[in-house]
Structure 1
């Protein structure tokens, strides 16, 4: 089964940036791209055919224009469009089901405040099982790149919690690094409980605990190193805030990969504090991967 890429575009000026990033990612994966626009509101009944036409015409025109631009830039890429009516997050989640990736946009706030995750994107990310990439629509985002001798290697940063299952994040991150010819940086930030009494004891605790943390990360990565032998891997286990470390490491990255733990339906969808902070402050695209 071909697991294509779905891009949710809303008609804003940044939609072209989202569509272009999704198109380049589709080419890297060798899969088709589907551009989806959702008109929020009740699905019109047959008696409302005139109103439904008024909704569909401008949206279909926008979708067609975007698709033409993508096809002109990438003639070999198969591009389709879908216009959906209803609740945006629900429709996008449904459209992405069974595909390999959903691409959405996030908007810049300011140089210090970072990026805004809109309500539709937030609800979609917190409910879908499909990996979601959030692309910056302020300026031109770092585009997915194929490996080439004259292209400097960059990083795919994967933020890991070694105390929970990381398989889905590592599957996604290693595959993305392999497609681009990038280095994969596996990063786990950790801290020491403030129970030591002096600086010497703190240094000793950091040394002893740090070695154990590093060994655990190495064991976790071993199967993926074997599965993706061409991927250069760096293992980082510094002390510090995971969100801060991931944002700082993204300076030379193509993509940051973070997780979203799947909770029981009764508790509703959640993104998590670290993932939310990375989405807000990373200046490169962020992939959110659901895991248990």
Structure 2
């Protein structure tokens, strides 16, 4: 049985966009939707207002308006409302633990050309034991579908294909939770899965933990470099094929395309995410030790990929 999908709302346009994205995903998977809003009483409320009362009413209104909008757009969807008096990050992490995934909103492009990802979202991603999806403000449900050549809006054409799902794969640490999440996402959408793996050809530069280097590639001498690059690519392609082979058999209806590229994983994934419906990347938990981080690749794509990004924690 699939767990319900949860979404955190705070009244912002980004969180409302996330609520509609989560509702669409819940409808697609046949689950319910839990809409949660966390609030905390101010330390010094106005003297004329009973302590905590005005804050509670305002928080309840935020939650109710978000739920009302989702119910209007998705009639018949089973929705659970949760108004939690707790610190926002703690409330969202606790909610995620009981959900199939947690969806949060991301505001949009910042002044430096990247997406603004708030500290709350980053801390939740770093601590959550379940997948967290960041949905971009301004994206509509129809944006997950491929555009019509005739210029007709996707929502006006039943059965318009969904955009592909993109998975960032590290062949040195393949993870069932991560790969399975991406295949499931593609299967539920009835679309293809593009698996992107970055490799680093020998160059004498410092190793990048996000890319794979085959140990058998010779690195000495400039004359060997073209051959070394070809060997590195061939090795990477073989590794990707080996990792994906059992998954292709398990998901025979999901078309899979493997993309092996030289360079940094984050750059390759941001490029591949253009035109994608969902980008899926992993985050190593390392036992959830204190100071857990999102990791360099996840951090980069959260700030620069223009489609929804799912971060899947794994050992």
So what's the TM-score if we normalise by structure 1?
A: 0.91
C-alpha contact (below 8 Å) 2:278/2:309 kept by paired residues: yes
CA distance in 1 between partners of 2:289 and 2:30 (Å): 38
Contact 2:270 2:301 in 1 (8 A): yes
Superposition deviation, residue 52 in structure 1: 2.5
Q: Which residue of 1 aligns with 2:252?
A: 229
Residue 150 of structure 1 deviates from its aligned partner by: 4.9
After the TM superposition, list the runs of 4 or more consecutive aligned residues in structure 1 that deviate by more than 4 angstroms: 141-146
The corresponding residue for 2:273 is 250
Gap regions ≥5 residues in structure 1: 44-48
Mapped partners of 1:266, 1:282: distance in 2: 27
Counterpart position of 1:73: 73
Task: Tell me, yes or no, if structure 1 residue 204 matches structure 2 residue 213.
Answer: no
Partner-residue secondary structure (3-state), 1:225: helix
| Counterpart for residue 210 of structure 2 | none
Aligned to 2:133, what secondary structure does the other structure show? Answer: strand
Give the Å deviation of 1:271. 0.4
What is the rounded CA distance, in whole Å, between the counterparts of 1:197 and 1:85 in structure 2? 63
Distance 2:115 2:41 in 1: 26
- How many residues are paired up? 286
Cα distance in 1 between the residues matched to 2:252 and 2:42: 50
**What is the correspondence of 1:4-83 to structure 2 with a 5 Å cutoff?**
4-40=4-40, 50-83=50-83
For structure 2, the 5+ residue unaligned runs are 44-48, 147-156, 204-218
Compared CA separation, residues 274 and 192, structure 1 to 2 (3 A): same
Q: 1:153 to 1:39 in 2, by over 3 A?
A: closer
Whole-Å Cα distance in 2 between the matches of residues 10 and 170 of structure 1?
A: 31
C-alpha distance in 2, partners of 1:89/1:137? 20
Instruction: From the superposition, tell whether residues 71 and 151 of structure 1 become closer, same or farther in structure 2 (CA, over 3 Å).
Output: same
Q: Distance in 1 between matches of 2:171 and 2:288?
A: 25
TM-score of the superposed pair, with normalisation by structure 2: 0.84
Match in the other structure for 1:262: 285
**Cα shift readout 1:165-214 (whole Å, capped 9, x = no counterpart):** 3211110000000111111011110102314432x422111112211211
Q: Distance in 2 between matches of 1:217 and 1:41?
A: 51
Do the aligned residues in 2 keep the contact of 1:24 with 1:143 (CA within 8 Å)? Answer: no
SS in 2 for 1:113: coil
Deviation at 1:15, TM superposition (A): 2.4
CA distance in 2, matches of 1:170, 1:135: 20
